[in-house]
């Protein structure tokens, strides 16, 4: 089997990869919906893939893996890797989890990142109301993640919460020390959320990036009585192209609250310091950023050897990304906690992708399916109605 073409279409806001072979087997991968601009980067790899055997996934990846970078630039390589595994599974007549070593769990736990409700404000009562709604969601989540601090607009809705001027823009540019009022406000909001969730549903907190080390330590220590699942990306994260493992280690060593990072990191080599120095308690690579699903599995296994937990990121990975997360999470070692549940956006994604269970999530878990490859396919006729003019030949 040989690769004859690499195609990319932006469907909704998600760039979607299609790898075409000379035996009529297609593989699909998906980039996060926050990155519709990545189509040219994906097509850059086309000439390096033509003529390769897609079922030799690792050999093929060696041609392109070194040409990616930290979020967002590793996404193109990651989506291609997912598509290669999709082809390899279809060619073998096996689900991808079989090719990754087999599953150790029949259902995978997910945590809520994607099922959200509008918030009226950013006072403690508003965060409590959001938790009430997410707690009642039909998916029955056992873990819910909420953005606080520099992750989101919390600090833009109150006076004198930080010492630096707050920039009202995206891509998380803010950084700097908090005022005493700011720190107390964050703690009060977390206390309000835990009051709603109790000890039956875990609360994870996406915090930054942008905190200083002293403030990160103060927050982590203040939250120790609340037993939160983790504090994510306090110092660096998202679109930060470096790790700062030594700074994370300084925070981690001074608190019993679990510290987490990893969604922006590309490749296993860039997790080495975090893992070997025990700089964090939880790592959270995103299969759509880290280099793909086999890369994520390698990191999970290396983390497990060092007593570090795994909670993959994935909130914007879409429905093909969801399928990839289910397949790889079924195979991860017992340091696995849960992966971040992505939703299809816009809602018509559920009309153009076939093979997902209905409902997808039951009591906080997804049953692992056994169809070949990633186990999902496009309803091509339905999907064609959502293609942009420049992508009309995507399925040809």
Predicted model pTM: 0.97
**What CA–CA distances, in Å, run from 183 to 217, 256, 309?**
11, 18, 27
pLDDT recorded at residue 165:
84
Q: Is the dihedral of CA 41, 47, 48, 54 positive or negative?
A: positive
Q: What is the pLDDT of residue 168?
A: 77
Contact partners, residue 328, CB within 8 Å, separation at least 6: 96, 97, 100, 287, 293, 294, 296, 297, 312
Position 343 scores a pLDDT of 97
- CA 172-252-195 angle, 5° bins: 75
Residues in the chain, total = 396
pLDDT at 169: 78
Tokens of residue 389, six digits? 């003019």
- HSE at residue 316, side-chain half, CA atoms within 13 A, is 17
Q: What is the CATH number of domain 3-93+378-391?
A: 3.30.390.10
Q: CATH 3.20.20.120 residue ranges in the chain?
A: 98-373
Where do you find CATH 3.30.390.10 in the chain?
3-93+378-391
Q: For residues 376 and 140, give the distance between their C-alpha atoms in angstroms, rounded to a whole number.
A: 23
pLDDT value of residue 170: 79
What CATH class has 98-373?
A: alpha beta
Angle between helices 124-135 and 180-197 (to 10 degrees): 30
CA 365 – CA 368 distance, rounded (Å): 9
Give the model confidence (pLDDT) of 94-139 as tens digits: 999 999 999 999 999 999 999 999 999 999 999 999 999 999 999 9
pLDDT at 157: 76
Q: Strand 377-378 relative to strand 353-354: parallel, antiparallel, unpaired?
A: antiparallel
Centre a 10 Å sphere on the Cβ of residue 205 and count the other Cβ atoms it contains: 28
**Which residue(s) pair with 366 in the sheet?**
108
Whether the link from the prior residue into 272 is cis, omega within 30° of 0, is no
User: DSSP string covering 212-268, please?
Assistant: -HHHHHHHHHHTGGGT-SEEESSSS-TT-S---HHHHHHHHTT-SS-EEE-TT--SG
Which residue ranges in the chain fall short of pLDDT 50?
none
């Amino acid at each position: 089997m040989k690769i004859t073409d690499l195609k990319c279409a932006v469907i909704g806001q998600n760039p979607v990869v299609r790898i075409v072979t000379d035996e009529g087997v297609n593989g699909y991968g998906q980039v996060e919906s926050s990155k519709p601009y990545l189509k040219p980067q994906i097509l850059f790899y086309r000439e390096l893939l033509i003529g390769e055997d897609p079922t030799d996934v690792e050999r093929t990846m060696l041609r392109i893996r070194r040409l990616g970078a930290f979020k967002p630039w590793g996404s193109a390589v990651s989506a291609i890797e997912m598509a290669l595994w999709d082809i390899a599974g279809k060619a073998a007549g096996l689900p991808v989890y079989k090719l990754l070593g087999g599953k150790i769990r029949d259902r995978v736990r997910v945590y809520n990142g994607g099922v959200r409700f509008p918030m009226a404000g950013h006072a403690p009562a508003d965060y409590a109301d959001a938790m009430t709604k997410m707690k009642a969601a039909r998916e029955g989540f056992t873990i819910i993640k909420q953005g606080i601090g520099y992750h989101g607009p919390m600090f833009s809705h109150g006076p004198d919460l930080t010492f630096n001027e707050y920039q009202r823009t995206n891509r998380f540019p803010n950084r700097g020390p908090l005022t005493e009022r700011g720190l107390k406000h964050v703690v009060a909001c977390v206390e309000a959320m835990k009051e709603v969730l109790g000890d039956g549903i875990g609360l994870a907190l996406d915090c930054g990036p942008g905190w200083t080390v002293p403030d990160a330590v103060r927050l982590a220590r203040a939250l120790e009585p609340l037993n939160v699942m983790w504090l994510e990306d306090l110092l660096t994260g998202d679109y930060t192209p470096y790790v700062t493992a030594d700074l994370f280690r300084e925070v981690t060593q001074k608190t019993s609250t679990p510290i987490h990072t990893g969604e922006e990191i590309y490749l296993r080599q860039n997790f080495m310091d975090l893992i070997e120095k025990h700089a964090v308690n939880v790592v959270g690579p995103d299969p759509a950023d880290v280099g793909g699903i086999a890369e994520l599995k390698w990191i999970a296994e290396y983390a497990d050897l060092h007593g570090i937990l795994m909670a993959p990121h994935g909130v914007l990975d879409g429905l093909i990304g969801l399928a990839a997360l289910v397949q790889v999470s079924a195979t991860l070692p017992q340091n696995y906690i849960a992966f971040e549940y992505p939703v299809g956006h816009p809602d018509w994604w559920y009309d153009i992708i076939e093979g997902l269970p209905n409902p997808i999530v039951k009591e906080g878990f997804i049953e692992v399916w056994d169809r070949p490859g990633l186990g999902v396919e496009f309803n091509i006729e339905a999907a064609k109605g959502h293609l942009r003019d420049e992508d009309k030949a995507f399925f040809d």
